[in-house]
Chain A
Amino acid sequence: MAKVVAVTGNEACANALRQVNPDVCGIYPITPQTDMMQRYASFISDGKVDTEAILVESEHSSMSACIGAAAAGGRVITATSSQGLALMWEMLFIAAGDRLPIIMPVVNRALSAPLNIHGDHSDAMGARDTGWIQIWSENAQEAYDNTIQAFRIGEHMDIRLPVMVCQDGFIISHSIERMEYLEDKEVKDFVGPYKNFLPLLDLEKPKSYGPLILTDLYHEYKRAQHEVMTKVSAVTLEVAKEFEKLSGRKYGLFETYRLEDAEVAIVILNSAAGTTKDVIDDFRAKGIKAGLLKPRLFRPFPYTEIADALKHTKAVCVMDRADSFGGYGPLFMEVSSALYQADSRPLMMNKIYGLGGRDYLPSHAAQVITELDSIAKSGSVKTVKEYIGVRE
């Protein structure tokens, strides 16, 4: 039986991790994630889990400890945000290259400078190319559900890759929402016991992690790593199907909202999707056929599926809560790459919104849909990339 609760995103994720009860957890505090690992540390102190906590001196060490523990043969977790994720950067590639299914909630926060602790997606977007699977979550319920599913996806014997589960800092991590917990036993049964794969502690079969591979084989190893990523979408859908049977909640590679017959569409990640859906309803009531696509799996990016879902529209705005200075926003780059391969494609624009936790308001969504409507009618885009909600 599901239990209805009012909790923050951090509390929801901490409880998902408690229900899984992994072997090892690397812990280092950083706002806005701190509260999640603090709660998890309490679960350890209170004997609710028997996880070995490794208290480290930095996120670089945290990820290093996680890599060691995962290579040894443990089920391993950690969590981070912003500068912490940035500090982990070189170790992230090693976790993925060594095929270690470490599960890491990432509470998205802006990067310095200037110093800012609030929600934006610059941190996880910066880790886009590290070889980690990335799953994004709109609210506390999704962050909880995605965390549980991440174990099944990352630990799948055909995958064995680390997974980041993203949620918006403060907006989700610190806001209390209504959501449903699964029973501890249901989660335990769903995730199942940890299956080892090439553990270092199997002393009968000695092995080495992290060898030197030069020009003779490195290129082949990267090709093999890419191949694993191509299998992730199918596994994600398979796990989602099973999760739906358990929870009644349906997940895909992305969510669409009133998109099937839409003429204009917004593509947007995480919490801002909720606000956008409300505004779409307002415009639908006025007779403007607006819709939404919210990516869930960002790495690997489901190019074909997203192109298929959007190609019938006349105009699309991809909204990024992160910027690539001197380039387009990271989500825009992916969606336009996806649509370029389609036989027909909409006009496209890119709006940068909400950096450093700047509020994304219904009026912003309304401004974008109004502009999309006029682009659809005129057939031309004036400016491809623009900041919205910014003071002149």
Chain B
Amino acid sequence: MKPKGWKDLPPGSVVLEGGSAAKFKTGSWRAFRPVWKEENCIHCLFCWIYCPDMSVTVKDGKRGEFNYDYCKGCGICALECPGKKGQKAIEMVEEGK
């Protein structure tokens, strides 16, 4: 795709569509990766509610895998996760390890 020139831009840098954040993948910003441990998950969906982006997938009321394309590794999901019997269902692991 040819990159846009200055004459092709909408005035005022206004984004002329809704939901365009889906096109901006920010997963590469991550230093720590949240890892889901299904055995400790009670499917409370706190992680889905608290995630500031859209990195937690949900299907039929059940939590699914992380979508790492949008996860910046903020760790809010891991902090909020109540887990099961004191065992967290989300753990932050350093990238590259």
User: Is B14 a contact partner of A216 (Cβ separation < 8 A)?
Assistant: no
User: Is B12 a contact partner of A198 (Cβ separation < 8 A)?
Assistant: yes
User: Is A211 a contact partner of B16 (Cβ separation < 8 A)?
Assistant: no
User: Is B6 a contact partner of A227 (Cβ separation < 8 A)?
Assistant: yes
CA distance A99 to B16 in the complex (A): 14
User: Is B14 a contact partner of A198 (Cβ separation < 8 A)?
Assistant: yes
User: Is A97 a contact partner of B11 (Cβ separation < 8 A)?
Assistant: no
Q: Whose C-beta in chain A lies nearest to the C-beta of B7? A: A224
A287 CB–B CB distance under 8 Å? no
Q: Whose C-beta in chain B lies nearest to the C-beta of A226? A: B6
A194 CB–B CB distance under 8 Å? no
Please, which residues of chain A bring their CB within 8 A of the CB of B16?
Answer: 198, 205, 207
Q: Whose C-beta in chain A lies nearest to the C-beta of B10? A: A198
Instruction: List CB contacts (< 8 Å) of B1-36 with chain A.
Output: 3-7, 9-20
Please, which residues of chain A bring their CB within 8 A of the CB of B17?
Answer: 206-207
Please, which residues of chain B bring their CB within 8 A of the CB of A213?
Answer: 13
Please, which residues of chain B bring their CB within 8 A of the CB of A99?
Answer: 11-12, 14
A98 CB–B CB distance under 8 Å? yes
Please, which residues of chain A bring their CB within 8 A of the CB of B18?
Answer: 206-208
Please, which residues of chain A bring their CB within 8 A of the CB of B20?
Answer: 208
Q: Whose C-beta in chain B lies nearest to the C-beta of A198? A: B14
Please, which residues of chain B bring their CB within 8 A of the CB of A207?
Answer: 14-18
CA distance A216 to B16 in the complex (A): 18
CA distance A220 to B3 in the complex (A): 11
CA distance A157 to B12 in the complex (A): 13
The one of B4, B7, B13 in contact with A97, judged by C-beta atoms closer than 8 angstroms, is B13
Q: A206-B17, A207-B17 are in contact. Are A220 and B12 (CB under 8 A)?
A: no
User: DSSP majority for the A interface?
Assistant: loop
User: Is B6 a contact partner of A97 (Cβ separation < 8 A)?
Assistant: no
A100 CB–B CB distance under 8 Å? yes
User: Is A221 a contact partner of B9 (Cβ separation < 8 A)?
Assistant: yes
Instruction: List CB contacts (< 8 Å) of A217-239 with chain B.
Output: 217, 220-221, 223-224, 227-228
How would residues 190 to 209 of chain A score, 1 for a CB under 8 Å from any chain B CB and 0 otherwise? 00000001100000011111
Interface centre among B10, B15, B17 (most CB of A within 10 A): B15
Please, which residues of chain B bring their CB within 8 A of the CB of A211?
Answer: 13, 15
Please, which residues of chain B bring their CB within 8 A of the CB of A217?
Answer: 4, 9
CA distance A228 to B19 in the complex (A): 28
CA distance A209 to B15 in the complex (A): 6
User: Is B9 a contact partner of A224 (Cβ separation < 8 A)?
Assistant: yes
A289 CB–B CB distance under 8 Å? no
Cβ distance A230 to chain B, nearest Cβ, rounded Å: 13
Q: A206-B18, A207-B18, A208-B20 are in contact. Are A223 and B6 (CB under 8 A)?
A: yes
Cβ distance B63 to chain A, nearest Cβ, rounded Å: 28
The one of A160, A205, A216, A223 in contact with B12, judged by C-beta atoms closer than 8 angstroms, is A160
Q: A208-B20, A220-B4 are in contact. Are A97 and B12 (CB under 8 A)?
A: yes
Which A residues fall within an 8 A CB radius of B? 97-100, 160, 197-198, 205-211, 213, 216-217, 220-221, 223-224, 227-228
Q: What 9 A-B pairs come out closest when comparing CB atoms? A: A206-B18, A99-B12, A220-B6, A223-B6, A208-B15, A98-B12, A224-B6, A99-B11, A198-B14
What are 22 A-B contacts defined by CB distance under 8 Å?
A97-B12, A99-B11, A160-B11, A198-B11, A198-B12, A198-B16, A206-B17, A206-B19, A207-B15, A208-B14, A208-B18, A208-B20, A209-B13, A210-B13, A211-B15, A213-B13, A217-B4, A220-B4, A220-B9, A221-B13, A227-B6, A228-B11
Additional pairs, 16, CB under 8 Å, beyond known A197-B11, A208-B20:
A97-B12, A98-B13, A98-B14, A99-B11, A160-B12, A198-B12, A207-B15, A207-B16, A208-B14, A208-B18, A209-B12, A209-B13, A217-B4, A220-B9, A221-B9, A223-B6
